[in-house]
Amino acid sequence: MAPGTGLWPADLAGGVTEVVRSVFTIVLGRRFFGTLRTAVIVNCLAFLAFAALFGFVLLPAFATDERHGTARWGVAAWLLLTPAILEILAGGAQNRLRLLTERIMLGEATTAPGKSAAARAGHRLATLVLSLVVLLTGLALVEVPWAGLPLTLLLGSALSGWVWFDATLARAAYDLPERATVIWRNRWRALGVGLGLAFCSAVPFLNLLLLPTVAAVATQSAFVRFDKRAATLPDSP
């Protein structure tokens, strides 16, 4: 059953499964082994830079007299800022792996970079601004009694799905309305991928070494299977 056309629980589970499958494919697949060195080095530097920013800037900024409040805000910031910052710092190093994923699945690569360096920089800046705006929502949402953390996890997963799929579709030369249409049409699969990546971000060593790579491979693999039909707008009355 194609993504976007079935029951939402199946699409959601399929997105999580896409991430798990990508982890095992990257770690155990021989075809990926020779292309990982540069990506892993960039991933490590990017993750350590974000961890330093998180530990030395964000957590002190969130410090309050209530320890649990600081911890909740820290969790929200981790979930909502990790995707955008890692995509900015390490996303470009994943392009060879995206191409390899396409070749494995389709027999050949069908997409090529569709934007100039300046356009990609502007796209990433817009993604960061979006993440900062969503962070303000997350800091309020996480304070909701009992439901705050689960709701923030869902918000972070949705944002993660958008950030990584948006980068994959932008690389395939989809413009913003087309990207939004395709991601919305496959929203439950995208949310499932984002949820899987949110859990990966908390797994030691996997987050350090491979998180952007898993995100790139999982989104490219899911994108190949996406329902990519063009949006059809209703006629004006």
Mean pLDDT of 228-237: 49
**Dihedral in degrees, nearest 10, Cα atoms 98, 103, 106, 108:** 120
**Residue 94 counted as domain residue:** yes
**Residue 46 counted as domain residue:** yes
The answer to whether residue 4 scores a pLDDT higher than 60 is no
The tally of CA atoms less than 13 A away on the side-chain side of residue 113 is 12
In the chain, which ranges are continuous DSSP H helix?
A: 8-28, 30-33, 36-53, 59-62, 67-90, 95-106, 117-141, 148-171, 176-185, 187-200, 206-209, 211-225
pLDDT tens digit string along 89-148? 999 999 999 999 998 888 766 665 556 666 777 888 899 999 999 999 999 999 999 999
pLDDT tens digit string along 33-59? 888 999 999 999 999 999 999 989 888
**Residue 64 counted as domain residue:** yes
**Residue 1 counted as domain residue:** no
**Residue 101 counted as domain residue:** yes
**Residue 97 counted as domain residue:** yes
Give the Cα separation of 161 and 195 in Å (integer).
8
Give the Cα separation of 133 and 194 in Å (integer).
18
pLDDT tens digit string along 161-192? 999 999 999 888 888 899 999 999 999 999 99
pLDDT tens digit string along 185-226? 999 999 999 999 999 999 999 999 999 999 999 999 999 989
**What global pTM score does this model have?**
0.90
The answer to whether residue 12 scores a pLDDT higher than 90 is yes
Straight-line distance from the first to the last Cα atom of the chain, in angstroms, rounded to the nearest whole number: 35
Task: Write out the residue range of the structural domain in which residue 89 sits.
Answer: 8-225
**pLDDT at site 109:** 61
**pLDDT at site 124:** 86
**pLDDT at site 234:** 38
Q: Domain count of the chain?
A: 1
Mean pLDDT of 61-82: 82
**Residue 233 counted as domain residue:** no
Percent of the chain residues past pLDDT 70, beyond the cut: 87
**Residue 54 counted as domain residue:** yes
**pLDDT at site 119:** 72
